[in-house]
Structures are given as structure tokens and as C-alpha cells.
Structure 1
Amino acid sequence: MHRDAATEIHALKADSFGRISLMRGSGGPFVRRDLAHVPIWLRLPAWWLARREALALRAIHGMADVPQLLAWDGRRLDRSYMAGAAMYQRPPRGDAAWFHAARRLLQQLHRRGIAHNDLAKEANWLVLEDGRPAIIDFQLASRGDPRARWMRLLYREDLRHLLKHKRMYCREALTPVERRLLKRSSWVRDAWFRTGKPVYRFVTRRLLKWEDNEGQGPKP
């Protein structure tokens, strides 16, 4: 596929860290993150986030129900398109099988040495056209040895976020072990709420004038 010959179908999201568009190329539709219009003062963090996503996608190449990296040249990141709807658009209410499959998908991700770190956002969980779960948006993903203590803590946080969604949409299917895990608070979560989240809110809401709205994008 000649990437420069691709045409934009429509924008999926545009913010201070780039424009994400659904594109059409000779091989069919794909998704592009373009940093061309990022303000100068944000180019370095935007590049860092896109590069982080590219490295994570390389680590999970060939895995089902996650995006496949097509290209990354330092300005544009192209990944495969997966037809479906975000969790908040098509909630898996009462669908215990969906959450069971989502947990298996998360385990596969973790075996590859990847912690997603942003699964609280319903927009990062897809319900594909055939009903399967999928995971997207790996900008904040961490890579490391799956056996490392730090990575195991991050994996547990990924799982806790999935279980929170399960509690919301399929509470009756929670197992006793899952209920206990939801009640346990890790120091990673506590540290984020004390330090990281206030900084995140200040940067996104005060400096960038952007309301994340739990992954549903900026408010109009």
C-alpha cells in the first residue's frame, strides 16, 4: 500500500496530541494517527506517546483482537482497522461470555509483556461486529518482563479496570475472587490518585482545555 495515496474517510478524533482518522488505501481501511498539526510545544510528548504505541503494537504483532502496526515514520502511525463499537456505544450488558473472552484477551496481552494502563476508559474496549471484545489505544502501554513485580502490579490494575466494567454491566457474573480483587486497593492506584491524576487533570483541562469524559473524547 502506498501510504501517501491513501484518502481520509472521516476523522475519528482530533486533539492536541494529533488527529486520528479512518483512512482508505489500496489494501482497504486503516486508522492513522497524524502528528502534523500538533502545536510545536507539544510535538515531543505527542511523538513520545505515538512511539510508545508503535513499540507496544510491535510487541503484540500477530495477536488477535488488537490493532496491527502497519507503519510508523515518526510523524504518522498507521494501524489496522477493526470494525465495531466502543463499549459505551454497545454495552455488553449481561454478557458474561464477553467478559470471559475479554479476560482471556487481557491475559494474552500480559503474556506478551504488555500492560495497557488505560483500560478504565470504555472507549479503549471495543465490541466487534461479531460480538468479540477488542482492545485499542496503546499510547500509555508499558513493556517489560511479564515476571517482573512492577509489571505484575500493572497487570493487576488492568484486570481491576476490566472487573469494574464487569461490575457495571454484568454484576451477577462476578466471582467471589473477582469481588475480593475489586475491594483491594493497590499502592499503584493510590499513588496515581494522589499525584498523577491531579497533574493529568491540570494539563488536559486547564492547559489543553480538553475534557476526556472517560474516553469519549472532548466535549463539543
Structure 2
Amino acid sequence: MIDKPVLDNPTLLKADELGRIEIVECDGVRCIRRDIRAARWWARLFAYRAAAREARALAKLDGIDGVPRLLAWNGHELLRSYIAGKPMQQAQPADPRYYRDALRLLAQLHRRGIVHNDLAKEPNWLVQDDGRPALVDFQIAWTRGKRGRLFRMLAREDVRHLLKHKRTYCAHALSARQRTMLNTPAPHSRLWRATGKRLYKLIARRVFGYWDNEGKGRVRD
């Protein structure tokens, strides 16, 4: 970790009720800073818990290619390494190798006891400059490490969300087994779609300015 990084040349990526996300130079190396001190007063507790959860997840995933490296977390700012690439909705990966590598990446996460939990959002998937997959935004990840029934169910949903993206951009490469998985969401996913999803979308759009799967949010002053 970087103990006291020198931060220069910030470039704003997103600023909303949960704080600011910027590209900065950390002692001459490009990285990403999440600053929760800029969060609205009513959202600061949630912003802190989300950033702390992301820090725990990244620490447990240290050394995995395709996952940002945790550089620092002091309770106010989270610094992680920068991964060069484009978000999925821009790159629109059509190469079956991308999805094979993405499945391997998810398997590595799950072996370390981490479930991402937010892979329906295309911006959380990156296509690196060399075409390989990467994952970002671990704010609501499962980090408990326990691998019981709930863990397995959530891990399966990680995979199913990846397959939904594969269906969008590379449908011809879906296997029969993968198509079956797509058509059988987990019970909690069916319950969520039937009950809480509409309320979640309303809050996400009205409060945070998030629209569909773009995941950008509004930029506030």
C-alpha cells in the first residue's frame, strides 16, 4: 500500500450523493480515488460502509489480474489502481474468448470468498486494452468469506449476469447449459424483480440520477 500518496492532476469521473470518483496521479502513477467526504450528509454512513466493503473485497482479491489493487483506505478516501480499458457498454465485446476469461475471473473471485453482487451493470465490466476482462466497483460485494447456500446462490447470479451480457453481445457462443441458466434465475432474484426492483429503480433514478445500466449517475456541483 501507499502510505502517504502524493495526489496530482485529478480528473472527475463521477460526483453524486455518495461522493466523488476521480482519476488522480499517485506519486506519478495513475489511480482511482473515491472520496466519501464529498457525500451528502444523509448518505455519508452508507458511503462509508460501501467504501469499507470495497476495501475489504479488494484486499482479499489482491494479486488477481483483472481486479484493481487496493492502494490505500483511511476511512475517508479509497485509492485503487487504474485499469486501462473501456466499459462494456462502450466496447461491446463480441469475442467468445472475453466471456471465457470472464468466467475464469469470476471463479477466482468466488474461490476467495467474494461475490461481486452488481454485475448486471455493464459499466462494472471493463474490456482492457488487450481485450481481457476486468471488474470494478465492489461496493456491495459479499465479503464474509462464508461459502454456504446463500453464497453459492449469489455466486451463481454473478455468473448469470455475465451470461446476460454474453447474450447481448455474443449470443451465438452461448452453450445449451448457459441458456438454461439464463432462463432459471435464483429464487431471490425472482423475488427481487417482483417486489423491490421498481422501488430501487425509482430511488436510483430520482435520488442518484442513475439510468438503466449506464451506472454513471449525475454529476452534481
Per the normalisation by structure 2, the TM-score is 0.92
What is the distance in 1 between the residues matched to 2:52 and 2:67?
17
What is the distance in 1 between the residues matched to 2:65 and 2:173?
25
The aligned counterpart of 2:123 is 123
Q: How does 1:18-37 map to 2 (within 5 A)?
A: 18-37=19-38
Q: How does 1:22-61 map to 2 (within 5 A)?
A: 22-61=23-62
Q: Which has the higher contact order (CA 8 A, sep 6+)?
A: 2
Decide whether the 8 Å contact of 2:117 with 2:158 is kept in 1.
yes
Kindly report structure 1 stretches of 4+ aligned residues shifted beyond 3 Å. Answer: 1-4, 144-147
Aligned AA (1:126)? L
In the TM superposition, residue 189 of structure 1 has moved relative to its aligned partner by: 0.5
Aligned AA (1:131)? G
What is the distance in 2 between the residues matched to 1:104 and 1:168?
20
Decide whether the 8 Å contact of 1:128 with 1:134 is kept in 2.
yes
In the TM superposition, residue 15 of structure 1 has moved relative to its aligned partner by: 1.1
| Root-mean-square deviation over aligned CA pairs | 1.7
Q: How does 1:96-107 map to 2 (within 5 A)?
A: 96-107=96-107
Aligned AA (1:173)? A
In the TM superposition, residue 158 of structure 1 has moved relative to its aligned partner by: 0.4
Are residues 1:183 and 2:187 paired?
no
In the TM superposition, residue 203 of structure 1 has moved relative to its aligned partner by: 2.4
Are residues 1:87 and 2:85 paired?
no
Q: How does 1:201-212 map to 2 (within 5 A)?
A: 201-206=201-206, 208-212=207-211
Q: How does 1:64-213 map to 2 (within 5 A)?
A: 64-93=65-94, 95-145=95-145, 147-206=147-206, 208-213=207-212
Aligned AA (2:109)? L
Deviates more, 1:197-206 or 1:75-84: 197-206
In the TM superposition, residue 4 of structure 1 has moved relative to its aligned partner by: 5.7
SS in 1 for 2:31: strand
In the TM superposition, residue 195 of structure 1 has moved relative to its aligned partner by: 3.4
Decide whether the 8 Å contact of 1:111 with 1:146 is kept in 2.
no
Q: 1:197-220: CA deviations, max 9, x gaps?
A: 2332232223x1512331341368
Decide whether the 8 Å contact of 1:65 with 1:133 is kept in 2.
yes
Aligned AA (1:189)? S
Aligned AA (2:16)? D
1:146/1:130 CA distance change after superposition, 3 Å: farther
1:214/1:60 CA distance change after superposition, 3 Å: same
Decide whether the 8 Å contact of 1:87 with 1:127 is kept in 2.
yes
The aligned counterpart of 2:216 is 217
SS in 2 for 1:74: coil
SS in 2 for 1:7: strand
Per the normalisation by structure 1, the TM-score is 0.93
SS in 1 for 2:91: coil
Aligned AA (1:96)? P
SS in 2 for 1:193: helix
